[in-house]
């Protein structure tokens, strides 16, 4: 598939009938593991990529470093790749153009300013989405936009008014050209159902403590579920346990019990 075909494939995956389950990759090895496991598309995790390249999360990594890693990932797999590009790294037009060149065909775009921890002005965020849509269309790759609001994850605003405020924003993002809307931080089934029913549009849920299982999310009408940096951070914890065992006891049991055989790991890249 070329990039335009991959974009259409990714867009259609949001329309069911099965919920789109996405494990977030941070490098080529994780992306290939997810592809070989049978996932039909692969997102990246901004935090995972940042950690792997030596940065903290929160748009501290440069646009160039992030997109270089996205390009490596996109070229290591055959399925569509969608990138977590945080708030767009300042110039969303150039970021979208670089995304097209990377070979990825979709992106997450969040609406919180990393420096102030405040929501970007609604009109400005709407214009960012329109710009991304225009850049992709002009390049012949209709990018799949997953428009995120951080009302719940960052606990912004009055809790009693949060749902209506978030819905108002998300409806504007939909009108501006988003293909899916992302509300990280919601785990209560009734709240998730309320978003699905109010928006009547593909909704993305982020896995976290208390998130219902996939089968229940599908029954609630959720179109897409992603794990964020969860798998990458689990890998970091496993690496820490191996390192502690090696340092403290001088043994290798954990590493030897769970490692992928060398030949299998090597074969994953014989494409």
Report pLDDT for 75.
98
Report pLDDT for 25.
98
Report pLDDT for 271.
80
Summarised one tens digit per residue, pLDDT across range 191-214 is: 999 999 999 999 999 999 999 999
Classify 33 as helix, strand or coil: helix
The pTM for the full model equals 0.95
The pLDDT-based confidence of 102 (bands split at 50, 70, 90) is very high
Q: Where are the alpha helices (DSSP H) in 200-258?
A: 214-219, 230-248, 253-258
Given a cut of 90, whether residue 52 has pLDDT beyond it is: yes
Report pLDDT for 178.
98
Report pLDDT for 115.
81
Q: Taking residues 154-173, what's their average pLDDT?
A: 95
Q: What percent of the chain has pLDDT over 70?
A: 100
- What is the pLDDT of the chain when averaged over all its residues? 97
Task: List CB contacts of 126: < 8 A, sequence separation 6 or more.
Answer: 172, 173, 175, 176
Question: Residues 2, 109, 13, 97: what is their CA dihedral angle, to the nearest 10 degrees?
Answer: -10
Q: Give the Cα separation of 112 and 214 in Å (integer).
A: 27
Tokens of 267: 């074969």
Question: For the chain, which domains are there?
Answer: 3-228 (3.20.20.60), 230-271 (no CATH)
The gap between the terminal CA atoms of the chain, to the nearest Å, is 15
Half-sphere exposure (CA, 13 Å, Cβ side) for 100? 18
Report pLDDT for 257.
94
Classify 146 as helix, strand or coil: strand
Summarised one tens digit per residue, pLDDT across range 62-77 is: 999 999 999 999 999 9
Report pLDDT for 219.
97
Report pLDDT for 175.
98
Contact call for residues 177 and 130 (beta carbons, < 8 A): yes
* Highest mean predicted confidence (pLDDT) among 53-57, 117-121, 152-156, 158-162: 53-57
Gyration radius of the chain over CA positions: 19
Summarised one tens digit per residue, pLDDT across range 105-149 is: 999 999 998 888 899 999 999 999 999 999 999 999 999 999 999
Q: Taking residues 177-190, what's their average pLDDT?
A: 98
The residues that bridge with 7 in the sheet, in sequence order, are none
Summarised one tens digit per residue, pLDDT across range 221-257 is: 999 999 999 999 999 999 999 999 999 999 999 999 9
């Amino acid at each position: 598939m070329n990039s335009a075909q991959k974009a259409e494939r990714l867009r259609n995956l949001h329309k069911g009938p099965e919920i789109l389950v996405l494990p977030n990759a941070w490098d080529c090895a994780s992306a290939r593991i997810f592809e070989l496991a049978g996932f039909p598309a692969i997102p990246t995790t901004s935090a995972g990529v940042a950690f792997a390249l030596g940065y903290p999360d929160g748009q501290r990594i440069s646009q160039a470093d992030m997109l270089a890693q996205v390009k490596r990932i996109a070229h290591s797999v055959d399925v569509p790749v969608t990138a977590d590009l945080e708030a767009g790294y300042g110039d969303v037009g150039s970021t979208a153009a670089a995304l097209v060149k990377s070979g990825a065909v979709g992106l997450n775009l969040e609406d919180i300013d990393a420096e102030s921890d405040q929501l970007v002005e609604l009109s400005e965020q709407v214009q960012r989405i329109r710009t991304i849509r225009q850049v992709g269309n002009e390049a012949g790759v209709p990018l799949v936009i997953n428009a995120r609001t951080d009302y719940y994850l960052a606990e912004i605003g009055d809790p009693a008014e949060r749902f209506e405020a978030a819905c108002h924003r998300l409806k504007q993002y939909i009108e501006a050209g988003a293909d899916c809307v992302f509300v990280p931080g919601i785990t209560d089934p009734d709240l998730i159902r309320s978003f699905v029913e109010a928006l009547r549009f593909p909704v993305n849920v982020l896995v976290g403590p208390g998130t219902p299982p996939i089968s229940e999310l599908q029954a609630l009408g959720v179109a897409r579920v992603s794990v964020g940096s969860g798998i990458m951070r689990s890998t970091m914890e496993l690496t820490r346990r191996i390192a502690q065992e090696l340092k403290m006891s001088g043994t290798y049991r954990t590493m030897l019990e769970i490692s992928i055989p060398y030949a299998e790991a090597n074969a994953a890249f014989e494409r």
